[in-house]
A and B are shown apart, each in its own frame.
Chain A
Amino acid sequence: MRGTSANRWLLLAPSLLWMLLFFFLPLGLIVVMSFAERGPYGGVRWTFGLWNYRQAMDPLYLWVYGRSFALAAVTTALCLGISYPVAYYIALRADPKWKNLLLVLSILPFWTSFLLRTYAWIFMLRVEGFVNTMLLALGVIERPISWLLYSDFAIVIGQVYGELPFMILPLYVALERVDVRLMEAAMDLGANRRQVFWRIVLPLTRPGIITGIVLVFIPSFGAFITPDLLGGAKSAVIGTVIQNQFVQRNQPMGSALSVLLILVMFALLLIASRVTRQRGRR
């Protein structure tokens, strides 16, 4: 329907209105609120200043940002490390008959509830959970390992488990696109298999790698469910801290932290897109 411009606006208007009203207006509200002050029993006093941001620059909060960043980085690195061989196998080595099935199996978990997948790990990692019970029964350990659950270890495991499909898929797409002839040409020119991988396959899949990193890092950085359920409400990450500000009825502070989170994220995205643009000149 190569309709008129009026027609197009008519088509666009409802969703645009919805987004402006219920997504961008709320975001604007917390930007404004982030400069406001909290009342003693919660509520917002509409007097404006930079105090929330000054407080957010406190080492206490910087430490939380750093910690969230580190956890997300470890999660992303593990996802990448685990997914690359898997995507490589499916894209380049698997029997075409099984390819589709393997791919579907690798991203099927995405379609199941994130909450339940997190719960599965609580069940696995508890002191009297499956892992400890198994290890005890096999005689690997004498006493249950207590740091499995409610620890950074658990957070990372849960995050990796939850985000893995988002890494496998873009990597697979990128690897699938790699021209086998380029690998042959490299081999013909004297590159052994390892060199072919490092000098041809890896650079050619860089856009897929960056997409995967973005897709995994962003939700991990702002995560709430996994740290809350697997971290035991004592290890603070930025997601749980924002939620906590809500419970403590300090909406202005929560707003400021949210605004900062968005800013940090956009800075990272900008870097990522720069990197892709530089490398992907084709």
Chain B
Amino acid sequence: MATATSAICVKSVTKRYGAVTALEAVSLEVERGEFLTLLGPSGSGKTTLLRVIAGLEQPDEGRVYLGGEDVTDVPPYRRRVHTVFQQYVLFPHLNVYRNVAFGLEQKRLSRREIERRVAAALELVRLSGYERRWPHELSGGEQQRVALARALVLEPEALLLDEPLAALDLQLRKEMQRELKRLQREVGISFLLVTHDQEEAMALSDRIAVIADGRLQQIGTPREVYERPETAFVATFLGAANVLEAEILQHENGDALLGLCGRTVRVPLNGRRIEGSRAQVAIRPEKIALRARPLRRTDLVQLEGVIEECLYLGEAMHWRVRVGEHCVTVTEPNRPGSKAEAFRDGQRVFLCWTRESIVVLSR
């Protein structure tokens, strides 16, 4: 299904290092002009996948297509994707101009053409006037921009970014995130970003591919992935989630009847298929409300529990509530006049949430 429309297409790629499997049958497509993020914890295989696409690693199985063309056996220097490396990897013996011109000098271009394109690229990353500087004279953010310009100047099919912002401090990181988004819109090519920072992924991406243990967990828009996580891993890695065990009593017409903490709850499946007699469900802590008394509403799920712990986090309140054998986390933004402020450890409370907030996970 390597369509000519996708910038990058990876088909069931497997990569092993000795006994360790870094990637297992990963398939992925990046559309033209799309900003896709590979999100996963360290050691999940996301950087390996990036290197396979760049051609710096050879997959043991599977194929890699760029613009519909099979490049699995093409060496890195003939692939039309370029990488912005972690820690930038600028050439220390070349100044900014020569760093950016590096890739162009490989091609048979006139001096004027090279000069023009380097100037344009530096302009794009807002580093005009830095041509004669040396990498060691630049700040982290500036080095980052040079690395971007160096790759973008070659007008790649897609840009691969390997944790490009990890080495920057928080303030600069936020700024560079906006910068990246702007750049991507301006140049209009596909960006494939690797990160372990879920916030970054949410802020930047058109779609997020969550990867763990060398396997692709879920791929979708940030909203899809957050609101309808498919696995317990995705649910807990992207934001926080309460994962609860439930009994499947019955399922039909896209709805399921679940036994959850002694209650029977009807939950929409949203096309998700379930099998067997047990399932896991996820509920986001911020979607749960705490009440001293149960509400008289039938459309809500309401459970009784005891507060075990109460944490003040500044921007939000954070509770741990024991409900039978489960321990449920609840957060509530710190708004003026919040009723929740009065709750204390050991107090009996009621947890309320809508049926739609419950996501049934596939195993």
Stretch of B16-24, B75-83, B253-261 with 4 or more beta carbons under 8 angstroms from chain A:
B75-83
In the complex formed, the residue of A with least CB distance to B83 is: A188
Closest approach, in angstroms, between the C-beta of A95 and any C-beta of chain B?
15
Q: Is A190 an interface residue (CB 8 A)?
A: yes
Do B77 and A192 touch (CB < 8 A)? Answer: yes
Q: A189-B106, A190-B107 known; 12 other A-B pairs, CB under 8 Å?
A: A181-B85, A181-B89, A184-B85, A186-B102, A187-B56, A188-B56, A189-B82, A190-B82, A190-B154, A204-B92, A279-B93, A282-B134
Q: Is B136 an interface residue (CB 8 A)?
A: yes
- Contact partner of A185 (CB less than 8 A), chosen from B75, B78, B89, is B89
Closest approach, in angstroms, between the C-beta of A275 and any C-beta of chain B?
14
CB-CB < 8 A to A2: which residues of B?
A: none
Q: How far is the CA of A189 from the CA of B151 in the complex (A)?
A: 7
Q: How far is the CA of A191 from the CA of B154 in the complex (A)?
A: 12
Q: How far is the CA of A203 from the CA of B82 in the complex (A)?
A: 23
Q: Which A164-183 residues have a C-beta within 8 angstroms of B?
A: 179, 181-182
Shortest Cβ-Cβ A-B pairs, 6 listed: A189-B103, A185-B89, A187-B76, A190-B106, A188-B83, A203-B93
Q: Which B125-171 residues have a C-beta within 8 angstroms of A?
A: 134, 136, 150-151, 154
Given contacts A179-B89, A185-B85, A185-B89, contact A190 B56 (CB under 8 A): no
CB-CB < 8 A to A187: which residues of B?
A: 55-56, 75-77
CB-CB < 8 A to A182: which residues of B?
A: 89, 91-92
A-B pairs with beta carbons under 8 Å apart, 10 shown = A182-B89, A182-B92, A185-B91, A186-B102, A187-B76, A188-B83, A189-B106, A190-B82, A190-B107, A190-B154
Do B93 and A282 touch (CB < 8 A)? Answer: yes
Q: Is B330 an interface residue (CB 8 A)?
A: no
Do B56 and A184 touch (CB < 8 A)? Answer: yes
Do A281 and B134 touch (CB < 8 A)? Answer: yes
CB-CB < 8 A to B134: which residues of A?
A: 281-282
Give A residues with C-beta under 8 Å from B: 179, 181-182, 184-192, 195, 199-200, 203-204, 206, 279, 281-282
Q: Is B54 an interface residue (CB 8 A)?
A: yes
Closest approach, in angstroms, between the C-beta of B183 and any C-beta of chain A?
18
CB-CB < 8 A to B136: which residues of A?
A: 282
In the complex formed, the residue of A with least CB distance to B147 is: A185
In the complex formed, the residue of B with least CB distance to A203 is: B93
Closest approach, in angstroms, between the C-beta of B89 and any C-beta of chain A?
4
Q: Which B65-99 residues have a C-beta within 8 angstroms of A?
A: 75-78, 82-83, 85, 87, 89, 91-93
CB-CB < 8 A to A204: which residues of B?
A: 92-93
- Contact partner of A191 (CB less than 8 A), chosen from B55, B93, B106, is B106
CB-CB < 8 A to B77: which residues of A?
A: 187-192, 195
Q: How far is the CA of A182 from the CA of B83 in the complex (A)?
A: 12
Closest approach, in angstroms, between the C-beta of B196 and any C-beta of chain A?
19
Q: Which of B89, B107, B136, B151 is the most central at the interface, judged by chain A CB atoms within 10 Å of its CB?
A: B89
Q: How far is the CA of A182 from the CA of B136 in the complex (A)?
A: 15
By size class, the interface of chain B is: 20 to 34
Do A189 and B102 touch (CB < 8 A)? Answer: yes
CB-CB < 8 A to B82: which residues of A?
A: 188-190
Closest approach, in angstroms, between the C-beta of A179 and any C-beta of chain B?
7
In the complex formed, the residue of A with least CB distance to B134 is: A281
Do A185 and B83 touch (CB < 8 A)? Answer: yes
CB-CB < 8 A to B56: which residues of A?
A: 184, 187-188
CB-CB < 8 A to A191: which residues of B?
A: 77, 102-103, 106
Q: How far is the CA of A203 from the CA of B92 in the complex (A)?
A: 10
Q: How far is the CA of A184 from the CA of B78 in the complex (A)?
A: 13
Closest approach, in angstroms, between the C-beta of B145 and any C-beta of chain A?
16
CB-CB < 8 A to B55: which residues of A?
A: 187-188
Q: How far is the CA of A204 from the CA of B93 in the complex (A)?
A: 7
Q: How far is the CA of A185 from the CA of B134 in the complex (A)?
A: 17
Closest approach, in angstroms, between the C-beta of B87 and any C-beta of chain A?
8
Q: How far is the CA of A181 from the CA of B86 in the complex (A)?
A: 10
CB-CB < 8 A to A179: which residues of B?
A: 89
CB-CB < 8 A to A189: which residues of B?
A: 77, 82, 102-103, 106, 150-151, 154
In the complex formed, the residue of A with least CB distance to B51 is: A184
CB-CB < 8 A to A181: which residues of B?
A: 85, 87, 89
CB-CB < 8 A to A188: which residues of B?
A: 54-56, 76-77, 82-83, 85, 151
Binary CB contact string for chain B from 110 to 137 against chain A (1 if under 8 A, 0 otherwise): 0000000000000000000000001010
CB-CB < 8 A to A185: which residues of B?
A: 83, 85, 89, 91
Q: How far is the CA of A279 from the CA of B136 in the complex (A)?
A: 14
Q: How far is the CA of A191 from the CA of B99 in the complex (A)?
A: 13
In the complex formed, the residue of A with least CB distance to B86 is: A181
CB-CB < 8 A to B75: which residues of A?
A: 187, 192
CB-CB < 8 A to B85: which residues of A?
A: 181, 184-185, 188
CB-CB < 8 A to B76: which residues of A?
A: 184, 187-188
CB-CB < 8 A to A199: which residues of B?
A: 102
In the complex formed, the residue of B with least CB distance to A206 is: B93
CB-CB < 8 A to A195: which residues of B?
A: 77, 106
Q: How far is the CA of A203 from the CA of B91 in the complex (A)?
A: 10
Closest approach, in angstroms, between the C-beta of B66 and any C-beta of chain A?
13
CB-CB < 8 A to A206: which residues of B?
A: 93
In the complex formed, the residue of B with least CB distance to A185 is: B89
CB-CB < 8 A to B78: which residues of A?
A: 190
In the complex formed, the residue of A with least CB distance to B94 is: A203
Q: How far is the CA of A191 from the CA of B56 in the complex (A)?
A: 13
Binary CB contact string for chain B from 306 to 346 against chain A (1 if under 8 A, 0 otherwise): 00000000000000000000000000000000000000000
Q: How far is the CA of A206 from the CA of B93 in the complex (A)?
A: 10
Q: How far is the CA of A192 from the CA of B150 in the complex (A)?
A: 17
Q: How far is the CA of A182 from the CA of B107 in the complex (A)?
A: 19
Given contacts A192-B75, A192-B77, contact A186 B154 (CB under 8 A): no
Q: Which of A184, A195, A206, A282 is the most central at the interface, judged by chain B CB atoms within 10 Å of its CB?
A: A184
